[in-house]
Amino acid sequence: MHQVHIRTYGCQMNERDSDQVARLFAERGGYAMTEDESQADVILINTCSVRDQAEQKAIGKMGMMGKHRREKPHVVYGFMGCMAQSRGSELLEKIPHLDLVAGTQKYHRVVEYVDTILKRRIERQMDDERYSIVDVAAEEGSQNTIRDQEVSARQATAFVSIMQGCNMKCTFCIVPYTRGMERARPIADIVEEVRRLVGQGIKEVTLLGQIVNRYAIKEFPTIQGKSPFVQLLEEIHQIDGLHRIRFTSPHPIGYRDDLIEAFRYLPKLCPHIHLPLQSGSERILKAMHRPYTPARFLEICEKMKAARPDLAITTDIIVGFPGETEADYEASKEIVRQVGFDNAFIFRYSKRRGTPAAEMPDELQLSEQVKEERNKDLLALIDAIGMAKLRTQVGQTVEVLCEGYSKTTTERLAGRTPQNKAVVFTGPHDRLKGEIVPVRVTDTHVFTLYGEVA
């Protein structure tokens, strides 16, 4: 039995892709997953390319893992995912012991490739031959291979991939070059997967896509004014036993009236949206190729709040984009104040090779010091707004989907509210996992609520 160790960096889509690869190894037979890399016969890293730091982290970790070949000469090392897609065979030069580079449309081929390499190593005893496989080619229909996941006993939540790729070509983003163009799974296939998950005890699903609310916008027809994404939401909403529906990551351009209206009549849609702003400056948004204005972004937020008064809104913002002036940065802060985001991910602009923004003139590139100052300043503002909102929850009773024990102790349980607020609470531990329970909030700390079963 060969032991397989998979380490994942990056977004929820990467997590879902890694789960799929693990399931394929289990189905193949002769493989078992392990958390201990030192015991592994196969070591795979699923990579992210959104920021240079993520790439360097993956390369550094793979370099360190090379030591395990001293004890097990047959160990197979591989990169999967976005960095594998963007760098391809170049990675073989950086990592001498690397055996496999599998791109974002090749997750379903990984087991086959690992099998091939292991057989050459073990059966033919070609330990010292440098044999490697690099496959980053596009493959039609690859979006339909990420499906039919396994869930553990009393697991409460699951991610469901509904599409791959992105057509937006924002100037700072490498994703369209690593994930390819938008490709959607059929509605019927997605609904059937969710139905199976609910049959296994899942109470909440999160639909995944690079621009999830543009799902199948050019592939499937609009019906009675409803986009394919809203049609999908309606179908999933009908599944008995499913309590909550989330989706990530959307784009402001996908928030048309039909989706906003869906939040009024589909109660299983959680009152939380993650809506990336990126910048509050109209000039910078144009330079980013983001096809909306700050005014339009604010309009969407107001319409969404009107549709769901209990709505929580989180966002992404980039500071230090090439050419960003102090006035541009202040415009971002003003949007933050007006919307009152519940939380935000703040990113310092990072050059990504092959993107238009990376080729912008040197005089437009901001210093790391300026980026860091703006990053800290904006985080302080976001934290103040978000934590003030949390404090209003003290004394209230909130609905929590229990996901299991707290990360720090088995004396307490943890879960999330419909607004995606993290909650740590006390209660009868043996029977609450996977259940939706009322929790009375007694305290807050940073971005976590604390309480007890009501």
Q: What is the mean pLDDT of residues 113-121?
A: 90
> In degrees rounded to 5, what are phi and psi of residue 398?
-120, 155
Radius of gyration of the chain (CA): 23
Record the tokens describing residue 139, joined without a space. Answer: 């493959």
Quick one: tokens of 88? 């391809």
Q: Which domains does the chain have, with CATH numbers?
A: 2-135 (3.40.50.12160), 141-270 (3.30.750.210), 275-391 (3.30.750.200), 397-453 (2.40.50.140)
Would you state the pLDDT for residue 125? 58
pLDDT higher than 80, residue 130: no
Percent of the chain with pLDDT over 90: 77
Average confidence (pLDDT) over 202-209: 96
Name every residue whose Cβ is closer than 8 Å to that of residue 33 and which is 6 or more positions away in sequence.
Answer: 3, 4, 5, 6, 22, 25, 26
CA distance 150 to 273: 27
Scanning the structure block, which residue is given the tokens 């889509």?
13
pLDDT mean across residues, the chain: 92
* pLDDT at site 121: 81
Which pLDDT score is estimated for 150? 67
pLDDT per residue over 403-452, tens digit each? 988 888 888 999 999 999 999 999 777 688 899 999 999 999 989 999 99
Enter the tokens of residue 212. Answer: 């999830």
Question: Using the 8-state DSSP alphabet, how is residue 297 labeled?
Answer: H
- The arithmetic mean of pLDDT across residues 165-194, rounded, is 93
- 19 vs 325, residue with greater confidence: 325
Q: What integer is the mean pLDDT of 30-58? A: 91
Question: What is the rounded average pLDDT of the residues 104-111?
Answer: 93
Whole-structure pTM value: 0.88
> Using one digit for the tens of pLDDT, what is the confidence trace for 50-96?
877 888 999 999 999 999 888 888 899 999 999 999 999 999 999 99
Q: Residues 321-344: what's their mean pLDDT?
A: 98
152 pLDDT band, cuts 50/70/90, is: low
